Structures are given as C-alpha cells and as structure tokens.
Amino acid sequence: MNKPKVGVFGFTGCGGCQLEILNLEDQLLDLVNAIEIVHFTELVTEYSDTYEIALVEGSITTKHGVERIKKIGNIAKTIVAIGACAVTGGLNCLKNLYGPEKAKELVYGDKKDWIDSIEVKPIDAYVKVDYYARGCPPNRFEIVDIIRSLIVGRKPEIPNYPVCIECKRNGNTCVFELGITCMGPVSRAGCNSRCPNSVSGCEACRGVIDDPNVNAHKDLLSEYGLTVEDIMEGFNLYNACKGKTIEKRDK
Amino acid sequence: MANNLNIEVSPLARVEGHGDLIINVKDKKIEKLMFRIPESPRFFEAMLVGRKHDEPSHITSRICGICSVAHTCASIKATEKAMGIKPSQQTIKLRKLIYHHENVQSNVLHVYFLAAPDFFGVGSVIPLIETHPEVVNIALRVKKMANDMVRIIGGRAVHPIRTVAGGFTKLPTEEEMIKMKEMLEACYPDLEKSLEILRTLKIPEFERKTEYISISDTSDYALYDGNIKSTDGWEIDDQNYLDKINEKVVQHSTAKHCWASRDAFMVGALARFNNNHDKLTDNAKKYTEELGLVAPCYNTFMNNIAQFVEIVHSVDDSIRLIDEILEDGLDEGKAMADIKPGAGRGVGVVEAPRGLLIHDYTYNDKGRVEKANMIIPTGMNYANIEKDMHALVSTILDKSEDEIRLACEMLIRAYDPCISCSTHFLKVKLINK
C-alpha cells in the first residue's frame, strides 16, 4: 500500500497541536513510517501539490488565511481539524467579543490600520472538515487514531459523551465539591478528564456534546450557588465563536 | 557572483512560526534587508481585559505551545505581584523544576530536530532516522524525559493545568518525585553521546557584537526569577523593565520591535550564557569547555551550543531541586497561598526558552484585568536578527545563491524564533536580476 501523503498546516494558533504530534515520542517513528509527511512547518521543509490527508491547526483570522485554507480544501482529499482553534475557533475568538477594530486599537494603537485581521472563524467556516481532533491541546493519541483509521479505512471513534463519565471512571472527587466551576457535565470527553484529574475545572476546550443536558447542568450550578453567567465566562474561553452553532444544534 | 540579488524567504520551515525574509542586493551592496512577520496577530492583550485573576495564566499559555510553561509562569508571577500573593518556597522550587523541563524539551526540539538537519545537510530530521538513528533516538528519549517531567508536575506537557497563581492545584507524589530523579539520572549517557556528536559539527564562524539581555540571579542560573541584566553594564529590578526596554509597532511586521541601550539586542540561551555562565553547574561548565563555548560569545550560531549546555545544567539542577524538595517533605498545606483578588499592578519576568518574556498586568478593584502588556522574546530579537543578517549577507555575497539562502535560514534558525507568538516562517525564493 502506498503511504498516504500527509500535510500538517498551521494557521493562527500557538503551534501546540503540531508540538503534540512531535510529543508522540514513543510512536513518532512508527507514525513517520506509516505516512509520507510532505509538509510540516515545525519539522519539514518540503511541499506537495496534493495531499491525502491535511491536518490543520489554528483558526482563520486574516484574509490571507481565508485564501490559504480554501486552497488546502482544493488539494486535500481528507481534512482533519486539529485542536480547539481549528475546531471551534478556540481562544482566538475572544477577540471577536471586542470586534476586530476595537481589538486592533487596544494592541496596536494608532498603527491599527497596518494590521490585517478579520473576524476569527474555525476552519469549517470555509472548507468541509471530515474529522475533528478536539481540545487545547488535542489528545495526541486521538490524532494517531484518526490517522490510523484513515489508513485502514475505518471511521474513527470520537467520544460524544460528557467529561463527567471519564472523570467518574478516574475516581476523582467532583471539583464542584471543592468550590470549583466545571464545564464537565456538558463538555465533550476524549481528554481522559485531564483538568479535573489535576483538581481544576473543565474549560470545555473540546466543545460541547451534541445533546447536552443543559438543564441538569443548570441545576448542578444552582446547587453549588453558581449562575449561568459564571460558567459562560469559562465556556467562552474556547467556544466564543461556536455559541450560535451550538444553540442551533441543541434544538 | 551575486552583484544583484533578490531573496525572498517565506515561510521558512523548521522554525516555530512563520516569517519572511527579503533581501535586495544591487551592485554588491545590500539595498534592502527586511525580516518580517506576516502572520496574523493574536490580540492577547485585548483578550485579557476584563478576565478574572485565575484566567490570564490559562489564556496566555495559549500564546505559545512550545513555551506554555514560560507564559504560564510569567502570568502567575505578574498576578501574584499585583495582588500581593506569596507562593511558598515549595511552590517556587516546583515551578523551577517544571520550568527546567520546558526549557529542556524546547532546546532538544530545536537543537536536534530543527537545527541539526542543517549541519547534516538534509531538509529535515526525517532523513536522519535512516542515516543518523542514534541522533534521533537520543533526541526522542531526552525530549520524552523532559515532557514527562512537565506532565507529572503540570498535569500535561503542553499548556500545564496545575501551575496557577498562588501555587499548585495538585502536587506530585513522593513516588513521582523519586521516579523523576531516576528519569533524570538515566539521561546522562545520552548527554555524553550528544556531546560527542556536537563536537563533530562545524559551527559557522560569524561574529557580531550586540547587547545581550537576560534575567540574572545571585545564586541561580536564572530562568524563573531574577533582575533584568545587560552585557552593556546595567541591571534593574524586573518591575522596572520599562526603564530600559522600549517597544514600537513597525509597518512590515505584526510583532513589535524592541530596543534598549543600542538599536538592537539579543535574548535567549546565548544571552543567558553571556550574563550568567558562572552560575552553571560544574558539570555543565565542563560541557561548555568541551564545546568551545566561552563567554562573552558573539557568534549567534553558538546559540545552539548554549541551548545544549542548558539542557545539561537543567538536568543537574533538577536533581538538586528534587533532593531538596524530598528532604523538606512535600506539604499539601503549602500547595496554595491565600489569594485576595483586588487592585494592583504586577510584572512577571521569566526566561522563556527563546529569551526574556515579560507580562505586565493591571487589575481593577474587582480583581479583573484592566490593562495587559506582554513582550515576547522573538519580538525582542527581531531587530537583532535583521542586523545579524545584514552583517552576514555582506560577507558572503561571493557565494552561490543556494549557499546564501541556506546561511540566512540557518542564521534565523539559530535564534530558534518561536514566532507562533505572533507569526510563522520562510520559503526561499531567489531571483537574480
């Protein structure tokens, strides 16, 4: 079997998703053997005209970015969005809360017109995304699983149940008991509840499950004396762009 | 051969980000040389406004996946200073420990994965898997050791969870501390072997004296805390960084340019070495001698060697820190300091792997961020990269286009520019007029 040509592309983000691939230390050599990496900004200089699989990191925040992602959409057979910035727009979307002009002014002052920056969007606002490796950072083993599945022609299994399930399985004390706000009840699992494992609240970096039990979460919040506003601040961290989409999907 | 030359490099691979390099040569004179960062700006300084005191470290960690521990620490130090939060000695030691290993993983990634292929004449680390498997395996082992250290202390390797303003949400166990010490001790043979390999590499000869700025401490080879110090002879309290460090917006780049005593300065491993070499462990000093790294060193390409020496130092110093923590005994009661959110301004300055990193926050009386300023190492190095490039290119105009292009890329890579902070990097296009 021919090795699939894989490109790893970075848009606006921190580069942490690409780093998580490099952090596969034990599996990296096997991975490199199973695929042909033809572009990887953090690792490889080469380029290609076509790609079997494009792993795309980062959100689209500039006009130039829009052109690039569309081009990748044309030359890649399968697109996998990796990491919160690509999947939901991620933390970059916090900028949208200001509107681009105000944000430019805050950071660049009277030189703001020199800066190319548009409303932040996830990549599926511009191209069809086949699979999503969610999270900030994404779970590197999930990325491997998606690639492996694509090679053998099976559908990757991405969890669609709340983080609470993993958290319970890990035997953690519920962080609400410790006075910590947590998005676990409505957030998509697949991270092995890594924040609650570290006695921190889930920040919903993997987005929200398809059918969240919002009312139960609200009850839970009121039981612990919290409001929806308290939690929306946390939720906004990674999902400020996706708010509307999620509301639509909930109905 | 190059009387007239147009070089455009965009985006440069194997640097942590994107950037463009444009060189125009006419009649053997450099007419225009511009290093620019075209990547979209992130607006973190705007994102922080209005956020609660416990959020900036999680938000700013996302400035850079490769130096997320550095941003986290700069952020929590700024918040702690602003609100008068006093972390325990145990917290500071654990922070220094996690800090070492982000630096190790980043330095390993840079020296072995990103810079080494240049020295072996290949386009990436992938061909080295066949030709120099020992190099790749050493890199993967040391990198894994460092990442595992960060995972154990911080909860994950990229964007740590447990390091927060006030201390740690969860402490490592005593067993984990002992395990970490074993992991550290096990990597010495790989460091020895690396030394043998690095000794055979030919580091380009190039010198340009500039100002080197880093933090500095009386006892430590400072990474986590210290005054800001310059080789131009000044030293200031980190809270007063604005007295010396200037920043301006330039049209061709989304990263702001910086200057201090002169028109440009360098930060990073070489700057740290030039300021603090006497604080290296004896073992690390031995490595500097073996590799011909002598302070003050003005060869930018030696930054890679300084990075390797820091790996050795970090491994040595981590063992010392673990011994101290174990001797004192891990104390849950010291994991978190008291926090009373309120108004104030605080500056957090650390050494990110790529150099000085500054977070400056002002909180209002509700404990929400009112104003934030951050200065990233690559922003500081920016002007210096242009000056270096200018000096280098004018000495190699008689070389072929390919050689000039490679030399330029190597020079930029020597800085290990983590431009994802603001940008990404270079594809080379050379046009002979």
Q: What is the value of ipTM here, to two decimals?
A: 0.88
Name the residue with higher pLDDT: B9 or A190: A190
Q: Average the pLDDT over A190-198 and give the result.
A: 96
The domain boundary residue, chosen from A121, A152, A183:
A152
Burial B76-102 (b: 16+ CB within 10 A, else e): bbbbbbbbebebbebbebbbbbbbbbb
The pLDDT confidence band at residue A26, using thresholds 50, 70 and 90, is confident
What CATH number is given to the structural domain containing A121?
Answer: 3.40.50.700
Average pLDDT over residues A173-198: 93
Higher pLDDT, B420 or A164: A164
- Spell out which residues of chain B touch residue A136, defining contact as CB-CB under 8 Å: 62, 159
Contact between B140 and A25 using a beta-carbon 8 Å cutoff: yes
| Local structure of B220: helix, strand or coil | coil
Q: Do A124 and A238 have their domain in common? A: no
Residue A71: domain span: 5-152
- Determine the distance in angstroms separating the CA of B206 from the nearest CA of chain A, rounded to an integer: 25
Q: Is B121 on the interface with A (CB under 8 A)?
A: no
The CA distance from B214 to B288, in Å, is: 19
> pLDDT band at B306, cuts 50/70/90?
very high
At residue B405 the predicted structure's pLDDT band, cuts being 50, 70 and 90, is confident
Q: What is the mean pLDDT of chain A?
A: 84
pLDDT confidence band for B410 (50 / 70 / 90): confident
Per-residue pLDDT at B430? 40
CA distances from B326 to A32, A96, A102 (A): 40, 47, 50
pLDDT of residue B420: 41
Contact across the interface for B43 and A104, Cβ inside 8 Å: yes
For residue B13, pLDDT beyond 90: no
Q: Look up tokens 């500097």; give the residue.
A: B288
Domain ranges, ordered by start, for chain B: 43-418
By C-alpha distance, the chain B residue nearest A85 is B62
Q: Confidence band (pLDDT; 50, 70, 90) for B17? A: very low
Range among A8-12, A82-86, A88-92 rated most confident: A82-86
Q: Determine the length of chain A.
A: 251
pLDDT of amino acid A100? 67
Chain B interface includes A44 (CB < 8 A): yes
Q: Is the pLDDT confidence value at B281 over 50?
A: yes
Give the per-residue pLDDT at B424. 28
Average pLDDT over residues A205-225: 83
Predicted confidence band of residue B184 (pLDDT cuts 50, 70, 90): very high
The answer to whether residues A173 and A193 touch, using CB atoms and an 8 Å cutoff, is: no
- Give the per-residue pLDDT at A62: 86
- Is pLDDT above 60 for B128? yes
Mean pLDDT of A16-22: 89
Contact A43 B156 (CB under 8 A): no
Kindly report the pTM of this predicted structure.
Answer: 0.90
pLDDT tens digits along A128-144: 999 999 999 999 999 99
Q: State whether A196 and A230 are in the same domain.
A: yes
Is A130 found in the same domain as A30? yes
Last residue of a domain, one of A92, A119, A152: A152
What integer is the mean pLDDT of B26-39? 74
Are A111 and A232 in a shared domain? no
Which band of pLDDT confidence, cut at 50, 70 and 90, is reported for residue A37?
confident
- pLDDT category at A43 given cuts 50, 70, 90 is low
Last residue of a domain, one of A88, A118, A152: A152
* Per-residue pLDDT at A41: 57
In a domain, A158, yes or no: no
Given pLDDT bands bounded at 50, 70 and 90, which one contains residue B337? very high
Chain A, 159-198: which have a CB under 8 Å from a chain B CB?
194-195, 197-198
Tell me whether B9 touches chain A (CB under 8 Å): no
Task: Give the whole-angstrom CA distance, residue B168 versus residue A198.
Answer: 9
CATH number of B43-418: 1.10.645.10
Number of domains into which chain A is organized:
2
Asked whether residue A207 is assigned to any structural domain, the reply reads yes
Please report which confidence band the pLDDT of residue A15 belongs to, taking 50, 70 and 90 as the band edges.
confident
| Residue A74 maps to a domain | yes
> Minimal CA–CA distance to B363: which of B52, B57, B68?
B52
Residue A20: inside a domain, yes or no?
yes
Give the containing element (helix H, strand E) for B402.
Answer: helix B401-414
Instruction: For A97-124, write each residue's pLDDT tens digit.
Output: 877 677 777 777 777 776 677 889 999 9
Tell me: do A61 and A127 sit in the same domain: yes
